[in-house]
């Protein structure tokens, strides 16, 4: 944990310099020095706490075999189910539907047709009165 102490002090010094720059022309020198000392301590403590959290909670040290249960729950192993079969079946089904009859002539070439998966909702059987009512309802809400 001691190996990064320079960065902690640099962060504290940067905080002190920031306070000196912000209050140099408004305050007497004693007040500036006191506030910059307080800022140095505060920024150093913040940097130390952040460095401590990063080293202990996020960093994983390889080769630490004594306490492997400690790493459980830190890493997320997300796997996506393979949908290759369903996509292959859909492609084959559409290819068979669009395939022309085998006549022996190569003159009839099949044009590219994009995949058309089944729709989750259909908009074919909508009642015009319901659509008009929904539009009236939405325009009434906008007017308020």
Residue 114 · residue 94 · CB < 8 Å: no
Residue partners of 39: CB distance under 8 A and separation at least 6: 15, 16, 18, 19
* pLDDT tens per residue across all 144 residues of the chain: 456 788 888 999 999 999 999 988 888 989 999 999 999 999 999 999 988 888 887 765 555 555 566 666 667 767 777 777 888 888 888 778 766 655 555 555 667 777 777 766 666 677 888 888 888 888 887 666
pTM over 0.85: no
């Amino acid at each position: 944990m001691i190996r990064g102490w320079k960065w902690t002090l640099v962060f504290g010094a940067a905080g002190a310099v920031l306070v000196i720059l912000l209050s140099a022309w408004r305050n007497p020198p004693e007040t500036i020095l006191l506030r910059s000392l307080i800022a140095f301590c505060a920024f150093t403590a913040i940097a130390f706490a952040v460095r401590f959290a990063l080293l202990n909670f996020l960093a994983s040290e390889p080769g630490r075999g004594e306490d492997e249960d400690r790493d459980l729950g830190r890493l997320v192993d997300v796997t996506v189910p393979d949908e290759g079969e369903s996509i292959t079946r859909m492609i084959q089904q559409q290819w068979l539907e669009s395939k022309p009859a085998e006549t022996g002539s190569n003159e009839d070439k099949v044009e590219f047709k994009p995949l058309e998966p089944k729709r989750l909702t259909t908009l074919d059987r909508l009642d015009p009165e319901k659509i008009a009512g929904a539009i009236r309802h939405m325009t009434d809400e906008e007017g308020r």
